[in-house]
């Protein structure tokens, strides 16, 4: 039973990573994937599996979470992260 639970968590983490990268790609935002599950967007650190967001040189986690929170932080820090040009 714990093997199945671990597999489900791994699948959920993978799915949340795919969803986040698809969302960032659609918005044209540059990011780096830092394995196993962190996305780095300029000074922003995002963990899709938990929705946790931190910003370099800031203490602690941001209260914003998930993709909605990430969108808010991206807007707040506009100009501090690279955006892909079409």
Task: Report the chain's terminal Cα–Cα distance, integer Å.
Answer: 48
pLDDT of residue 3: 56
Strand partners, 29: 83
pTM: 0.85
What is the predicted pLDDT for the residue at 9?
A: 84
The token pair at 53 is: 């967001």
Q: What is the pLDDT of residue 81?
A: 67
At 12-30, the pLDDT tens digits run 999 999 999 999 999 989 9
Q: How far apart are CA 51 and CA 43, in angstroms?
A: 16
What strand order describes the sheet that includes 52-55? 32-34, 38-41, 44-47, 52-55
> pLDDT-based confidence at 6, cuts 50/70/90?
low
pLDDT digits (tens, 9 = 90+) for 42-62: 999 999 999 999 999 999 999
* Tokens coding 25: 């790609």
Contact indicator for 46, 53 with CB cutoff of 8 Å: yes
| Rg of the chain (C-alpha set) | 14
């Amino acid at each position: 039973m714990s093997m199945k639970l671990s597999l489900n968590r791994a699948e959920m983490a993978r799915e949340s990573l795919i969803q986040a990268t698809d969302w960032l790609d659609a918005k044209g935002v540059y990011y780096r994937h830092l394995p196993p599950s962190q996305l780095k967007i300029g000074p922003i650190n995002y963990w899709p599996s938990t929705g946790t967001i931190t910003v370099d040189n800031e203490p602690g986690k941001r209260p914003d979470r998930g993709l909605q929170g990430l969108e808010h932080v991206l807007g707040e820090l506009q100009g501090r992260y690279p955006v892909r040009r079409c």
